[in-house]
Amino acid sequence: MGELFPGLSFNEQLRRAWLTEGRLCSIANEIASTTDQRCAQEYLMPQITRMPNATVVGFGGKAQKYLKSLRIDFVSAYAMAPPGANHRPARPSWEAAIAQVQDRRASRFG
């Protein structure tokens, strides 16, 4: 987050970012299917709608599927945890996501 909020302490950065899971429900198998959208609709959607000016980043395929199903505009990036985080294109995808968030912030807030 330091790239998004340079010069701020970690605690100050956390006050400006909202980090959450895509599913927001207990699941028996983390690698399970993303076909059940109930949790995303009941828990994720209300959180996102409370932050209308936020730029949403979907880290990983599961998060992106949930966001697409909710018709949320988002920036895509590789997952932040293995196995996705271990792939060579992961870091460049995170850097590209940071650039997109910065661009969107600049266009909204000048």
User: Domain limits of the chain?
Assistant: 10-109
How far apart CA 31 and CA 6 sit, in angstroms, is 35
pLDDT of residue 28: 64
Are 64 and 44 within 8 A, CB to CB?
Answer: no
pLDDT of residue 93: 97
Place of tokens 């998060």: 63
How far apart CA 66 and CA 34 sit, in angstroms, is 7
Q: 105 by DSSP, 3-state: which?
A: helix
pLDDT of residue 55: 93
pTM value is: 0.83
How far apart CA 66 and CA 60 sit, in angstroms, is 10
Q: φ, ψ for residue 56 (rounded to 5)? A: -95, 135
pLDDT of residue 8: 93
pLDDT of residue 38: 79
pLDDT of residue 18: 87
The one-digit pLDDT tens for each residue of the chain (110 residues) are 678 888 999 999 988 888 887 767 766 665 556 566 778 888 889 999 999 889 999 999 988 998 999 999 999 999 999 999 999 999 999 999 999 999 998 888 76
